[in-house]
Amino acid sequence: MIDLDLVKRSLQKVVPRVVFFECVESTNLTARDLVLEDPFGPTLVLAETQTRGRGRYDRIWVSPKGGLYMSLILSPKCASDKYTLFNLLAGCAVCHSIRKLYGLNALLKWPNDILINSRKVVGILSEVITDSLGVPWVIIGIGINANVRTVDYSPELHDKLLTLQDALHKPVDLNELIITTLQSLFQRITLLENGNHAAILDEWRRMNATLGHKVTVIDGENEITGLALDITESGSLLLQTAPDSIVCVNIGDIIHC
Ligand code: BTN
């Protein structure tokens, strides 16, 4: 159960507005509506379930009760060429929180999926929009398979995803997870705003499961295979596709990792 008062009190220094819904279509869409109707400042949108949770590439993020679905709205205080780093820092924040709270070996798959035992536990969808005055806002949407059983998802997902409840053999405290994740997020946002991008990139490198592996990245019709060498200053993936060829990939899904 989400205790809204506890979440609000614990996060009041960093998030002055927290809104909770039992059910929305998508917390990212609700966040977008809030920015367009009433741009306010850092805001957290929480929902118990989503009817059409959005994943990357317009995929559906299946959102049964017991999972954690939230979107953080903020007005970025950094140059626009650094907005892509919100994606990586959000992954680092959630991965760090899961390790700290539960001691699980959570790993980042480029750009920001979080895996445990090679199965996906967390998905992150960051979007940038502008309000009616042309001010940019970042929406960081985070979905965590928390207090749900893997068997409660459709069978084709069983070997692809994992839930925290199944990894730990007991449910987690959602309030603690929300609060720790948001605190971790804001620590890393401060790093970005203070120009310490290197710390974010280094943390991502320390917790990732992609670099050093031969991977295939798919973006629509395009497919590219190579050895994942490193990430760039803006979070793109450097792939060695031949002895004398290094390709920089900005976007895509990794299928072999
Ligand atoms: C992905 O891995 O494809 C990203 C999934 C992101 C899902 C979260 S759930 C909370 C927020 N609201 C959404 O509609 N999507 C994100």
Ligand 1 atom nearest to CA at 27: 12
pLDDT attached to residue 255: 85
What single DSSP character describes residue 257?
A: -
3-class DSSP assignment, residue 191:
helix
Cis (ω within 30 of 0) for the bond into 111? yes
pLDDT attached to residue 244: 96
Closest to 28 (Cα-Cα) out of 60, 4, 3, 2 = 60
Q: Is the pLDDT of residue 171 over 60?
A: yes
Residue nearest to atom 2 of ligand 1 (CA): 123
Alpha-carbon dihedral angle through residues 108, 121, 185, 100, given to the nearest 10 degrees: -90
The pTM for the full model equals: 0.97
Rounded Cα–Cα distance for residues 66 and 57 (Å) = 24
Ligand 1 atom nearest to CA at 54: 14
Q: Is the pLDDT of residue 257 over 90?
A: no
**H or E element, residue 174:** helix 174-193
Residue nearest to atom 15 of ligand 1 (CA): 54
Cβ atoms of 254 and 215 within 8 Å: the answer is yes
Residue nearest to atom 3 of ligand 1 (CA): 55
CA of 214 to the centre of ligand 1 (A): 27
Rounded Cα–Cα distance for residues 56 and 239 (Å) = 21
CA of 112 to the centre of ligand 1 (A): 11
> Residue 181 corresponds to which tokens in the numbers above?
């994740």
